[in-house]
Amino acid sequence: MKAVVLNASSYIKDNGTGLQKSCLEYVLGRGSKDKVREELSGYQNSDGGFSNGLEIEYQGPVSSPFSTAAALGYIFRFDLADTELLEKALRYLRKNQKQDGSFDDESGMLAYPHPEYMGPGIYVDFKTGMILKWLRRLKIDEEGLINRAQQFLLDNFDRISEGRDLWSAAAYASAFADQRQLPEYPRIMEWCMSILAPEPDVFGWQQAMGMIEDDMDIPEQVLPNTLKMISERQQSDGGWPHQFGTYNRVWAAIFIVRFLLNSKLAED
């Protein structure tokens, strides 16, 4: 996998932003955590939320739950939980969590160009689920944030599960994958997997990338196939196919490199 990492690194250096390049250098053991912190802080607003292009399709300055959820993921993956970035983000989340426990866009962001999946009242379950996922991964012990967000998702599950929306399924799977103790867990995960993995005996690229992005352990029995897919799907420029453009393609490459290095699978 050395060649895979080298080719991916070249692709990231050629196509990545300053933040993405600093994340790569940190993962490779050549860059400092402080440089990642510095780059990520450029996307953080005075209220503690994130915007300014961290979610590439929204370049506006008004803080966004989508962008803040993405930032929490970077804080987790690149060991920034002990920096001021997290405490500021938590201040934003405390202030902006709705009475029902959800997180949603503020009307001020409508003044700026934004994608159709953003805006007040749109994909509230996804925004809330992604934030909840990373709060759990970061082990944030704040019941006001976590419990209320969880209750919002539980209260709305019956309505949401009447449909088969991919992003809603991703939100619930991310938020509840490690909550086996909940009575609702079997029903939630059965619905999620019926959408995300309709063929339960097939462990494909979507499932592998979902686990890699979430920093989850790949089951030993499917690890060889995962490595085979990583190798075979890498394209001539060093990246991997991605439906959401170059920016997200670079992030996918960073996460794959991180997975291979953290799992000590890049030594051969």
169-187: pLDDT as tens digits: 999 999 999 999 999 999 9
CATH of domain 32-164: 1.50.10.20
pLDDT at 267: 62
CA separation (Å) from 61 to 6, 34, 73, 189?
Answer: 35, 24, 20, 36
pLDDT at 47: 97
pLDDT tens readout for residues 50-63:
999 999 999 999 99
Mean pLDDT, residues 252-264: 93
pTM: 0.94
Evaluate if residue 264 carries a pLDDT over 80: no
Say how far apart CA 20 and CA 235 lie, in whole Å: 19
The distance of Cα 50 from the centroid of its chain, to the nearest Å, equals 14
The domain spans of the chain are 1-31+198-268, 32-164
